[in-house]
Amino acid sequence: MADDARRTQVVEAATAAVDELGVSVGTAQIAERAGIPRPHVYRYVESREHLDALVARQAATLLLDHVRPAFLTPGTGHEIVHGILTSTVEWAAAHPNLYRFMAQRPQTPGEHSARFGRTRFLDVVASSIGAYLRGTDITVSVPEGLLAGLIGMADGTIVWWLDHQDERQDAMVNRLTRQTEAVVRDALNSVGIQVPEDLRLDPQA
């Protein structure tokens, strides 16, 4: 088997192992799932850090595949944010270990330049905002730092909920939606942009 195919096999095995067993899964367990001897794992990836980065990218891809339809759904700002967060939380509830794995990883310059993990999600969020606003008179460049802060807030809220289950899922999503809307509206207001609450946005218009 070619090295690229074997690397894919190792990454898929590691992703499945994290999903099932948690973020502290060991290399031996990954190798067993991949069907190769433990020392052979590092023939196909540079290090455990490299493997973890590839798993984060794979997990981000799985999350994006689930959430992407929500990014294409027309609606008011509230409806759009609520739909995206509902879909995100659905995936996190189904894959709590993978979500924790992504959320706890530091965003290093190397991962940013490679567009790994959460940074790939930022790309989709940023491009989706542009698509939603394309059919309006609103022109705004959203700082990546703002988007990163919003994702950090979402990660913290969702991981807390996964760990504690101290409120209903829908109640948590509703609360996080209100908080996200407040941050976005404040950012828009700071540059003199007022978005009517009943304005319907369509990314495919």
Q: What are 75's strand-pairing partners?
A: 201
pLDDT tens digits for 85-108?
A: 999 999 999 999 999 999 888 655
Structure-token match 């999903």, residue found: 19
Judge residue 180's burial from the number of C-beta atoms within 10 Å of its C-beta, 0-12 exposed, 13-18 middle, 19 or more buried.
buried
Q: Are 155 and 103 in contact (CB under 8 A)?
A: yes
What is the per-residue DSSP string for 24-78? T--HHHHHHHHTS-GGGHHHHSS-HHHHHHHHHHHHHHHHHHHHHHHHT--EEHH
pLDDT tens digits for 101-134?
A: 998 886 554 444 433 445 555 555 555 566 556 6
Whole-number pLDDT of residue 124: 57
Give the residue extent of every domain in the chain: 1-45, 48-201
Q: Are 45 and 7 in contact (CB under 8 A)?
A: yes
What is the CATH topology of the domain spanning 1-45? Arc Repressor Mutant, subunit A (1.10.10)
Whole-number pLDDT of residue 52: 93
What is the CATH topology of the domain spanning 48-201? Tetracycline Repressor; domain 2 (1.10.357)
Q: Compute the distance between CA of residue 160 and CA of residue 165 in angstroms, rounded to an integer.
A: 8
Whole-number pLDDT of residue 145: 78
pLDDT tens digits for 131-169?
A: 556 666 666 666 777 777 888 899 999 999 999 999 999
Whole-number pLDDT of residue 112: 43
Q: What are 189's strand-pairing partners?
A: none
DSSP assignment letter at 40: G
Q: What are 200's strand-pairing partners?
A: 76
Whole-number pLDDT of residue 1: 54
Amino acid letter, residue 33 = R
pTM score: 0.84
Structure-token match 């369509």, residue found: 202
